[in-house]
Amino acid sequence: MSFNIAEKAWLEAPIYNRAMDNYQTFLARKQVIAGGDATPQAAPSAQRPASASSSSSSLVNKIQETRNTIKEALSKKPTTGSTSTGLEQRIEAIESENKALRQELAAMCDRFTALELRMNNMTGTPTAETKKEEQATNDDDSDVDLFGSDSEDEDAKVEAEKIKAERIAAYNARKSAKEAVKGAVIAKSNIILDVKPWDDETDMVELERQVREIETDGLLWGAGKLVAVGYGIKKLQICCVVEDDKVGTDFLEESITTLEDLVQSVDVVAFNKI
């Protein structure tokens, strides 16, 4: 394991401190001895090798440099490594989130496509294949001259009529087969009617019976009940299901109001598509 100068100085600080203390003690003794008796100590100091003095000075310089290095290391601001690491982590998180969002968007698009296909099948919206078939049929029909020309002879007319009849029959057969597969969608509605009598003496049971006797293709009577209006008078509230192409509200109102002895008026309370 390798250490830089600042880390090494920090780890070996106790050693440098002890060396500095020893050196300061040595200087203090030297000053005391020099102040007390300079003559006896003059000779030893003169005889001390020059290398010892230079080594002590270099040691002091190293200690001072080490302290300065430690101070500089402590005073420096934190490096941007942690900031860059945090930024990289945030970028990775954003990329992961974007990837997840793209996957969810793709899944939603697939679901929307499947739903649109189902809606087209339910509502009978012609697909591209159906449009191509109908276009081909129309092109075939357009090739036939329905009225013929004055210059054509009778045989050509008979042949054209025969071809036209065959193609129309084939087209109707294909169309009938498609409708049989898809199923014909019949529009129906649920209607609630209020049938009001003349007074409180009207036989409401007989009134309901005669209303239900009104029958026609596409009409189906449902539940009925008596609802109090006031002063002892009750009205008949009855529902029915009708096919929109066959039965309308006008027919119901006209048919019920023909019961003049029992019915005063007829009102449509609710009209809902099924």
Same domain, yes or no: 155 and 219: no
Determine the pLDDT at residue 27: 81
* Domain assignment of residue 267, yes or no: yes
Domain boundary pick from 75, 90, 119: 75
Same domain, yes or no: 174 and 211: no
Global pTM value: 0.35
Burial of 59 (0-12, 13-18, 19+ CB in 10 A): middle
Domain containing 168 equals 130-182
Same domain, yes or no: 195 and 234: yes
Same domain, yes or no: 175 and 197: no
Domain boundary pick from 148, 182, 216: 182
Determine the pLDDT at residue 120: 78
* Domain assignment of residue 196, yes or no: yes
Same domain, yes or no: 157 and 226: no
- Structural contact between residues 238 and 193, judged by C-beta atoms closer than 8 angstroms: yes
Same domain, yes or no: 205 and 263: yes
Same domain, yes or no: 69 and 45: yes
Length of the chain measured in residues: 274
Same domain, yes or no: 140 and 202: no
Same domain, yes or no: 204 and 220: yes
* Domain assignment of residue 257, yes or no: yes
Same domain, yes or no: 22 and 36: yes
* Domain assignment of residue 44, yes or no: yes
Give the number of domains in the chain: 3
Same domain, yes or no: 256 and 208: yes
Determine the pLDDT at residue 44: 44
**The CATH number of the domain where 199 resides is what?**
3.30.70.60
Same domain, yes or no: 167 and 230: no
Our CA angle for 98, 104, 105, nearest 5°, is 85
* Domain assignment of residue 111, yes or no: no
* Domain assignment of residue 100, yes or no: no
Question: Per-10-residue mean pLDDT for the chain, 274 residues long?
Answer: 56 76 81 59 44 60 76 62 68 85 86 83 61 61 51 75 87 79 74 92 92 92 91 92 90 91 92 88
* Domain assignment of residue 201, yes or no: yes
Q: How far is CA 177 from CA 31, 170, 173, 213, 243, in A?
A: 124, 11, 6, 38, 24
Determine the pLDDT at residue 33: 76
Domain boundary pick from 31, 48, 75: 75
List 220's β-bridge partners, or say none.
Answer: 241
155-186 exposure pattern, b = at least 16 Cβ within 10 A, e = fewer: eeeeebeeebeeeeeebeeeeeeeeeeeeeee
* Domain assignment of residue 200, yes or no: yes
